[in-house]
């Protein structure tokens, strides 16, 4: 199953991101969404798992969106939270994929049998950081992550 992972759009859903997410069975957004319009555009592509980021906290449209989520895809327990600093309080041995955003720095890091994934920022470029999202190939036996650079 192809799963798209995106974060830190900050109100900008690039055409390159929309193209990269086509064909995904599910999408995960790790916060700092920026607008309800982004939620609607992503939901039009595939079912969406989404959390608020620090920049979404005061927005009325984001009030119903959770600060963290736990869910399962293909038998893999997933923890979704915007800031990696919040992970230790929420983590247990059942979680095998931790998805975060916030730093705008892409990360694929296996820590034992748990994958820590930050797709980077798909919104406006910050500093000299790349503009990226991630794609996952998920089966009951494996998760294969990859990063997609959206702009050079």
**Is 0.85 topped by the overall pTM?**
yes
Band of pLDDT at residue 123, cut at 50, 70 and 90: very high
Give the mean pLDDT of 80-99: 95
Q: Report the number of distinct structural domains present in the chain.
A: 1
Q: Among 7-11, 15-19, 61-65, 88-92, name the one with the lowest average pLDDT.
A: 88-92
**Residue 101: which CATH number?**
3.60.21.10
Burial letters 75-101, b for 16+ CB under 10 A, else e: ebbbbbbbbbebbeeeeeeebbbbbbb
pLDDT tens profile 128-142: 889 999 999 999 999
Q: What pLDDT score does 40 carry?
A: 98
User: 58 lies in which domain range?
Assistant: 2-151
Q: What pLDDT score does 124 carry?
A: 87
3-state SS string for the chain: CEEEEECCCCCCCCHHHHHHHCCCCEEEECCCCCCHHHHHHHHHHCCEEECCCCCCCCCHHHCCCCCEEEEEECCEEEEEECCHHHHHHHCCCCEEEEECCCCCCCEEEEECCEEEEECCECCCCCCCCCEEEEEEEEECCEEEEEEEEEEC
């Amino acid at each position: 199953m192809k799963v798209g992972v995106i974060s830190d759009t900050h109100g900008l859903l690039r055409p390159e991101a929309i193209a990269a997410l086509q064909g995904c069975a599910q999408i995960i957004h790790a916060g700092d969404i920026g607008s309800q319009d982004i939620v609607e555009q992503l939901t039009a592509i595939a079912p969406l798992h989404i959390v608020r980021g620090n920049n979404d906290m005061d927005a009325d449209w984001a009030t119903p969106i959770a600060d963290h989520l736990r869910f399962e895809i293909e038998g893999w327990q997933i923890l979704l939270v915007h800031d990696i600093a919040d992970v230790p309080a929420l983590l247990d041995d059942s979680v095998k994929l931790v998805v975060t955003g916030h730093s705008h720095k892409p990360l694929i890091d296996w820590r034992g049998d748990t994958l820590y994934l930050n797709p980077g920022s798909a919104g406006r470029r910050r500093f000299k950081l790349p503009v990226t999202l991630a794609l996952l190939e998920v089966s009951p036996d494996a998760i294969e992550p990859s990063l997609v650079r959206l702009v050079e």
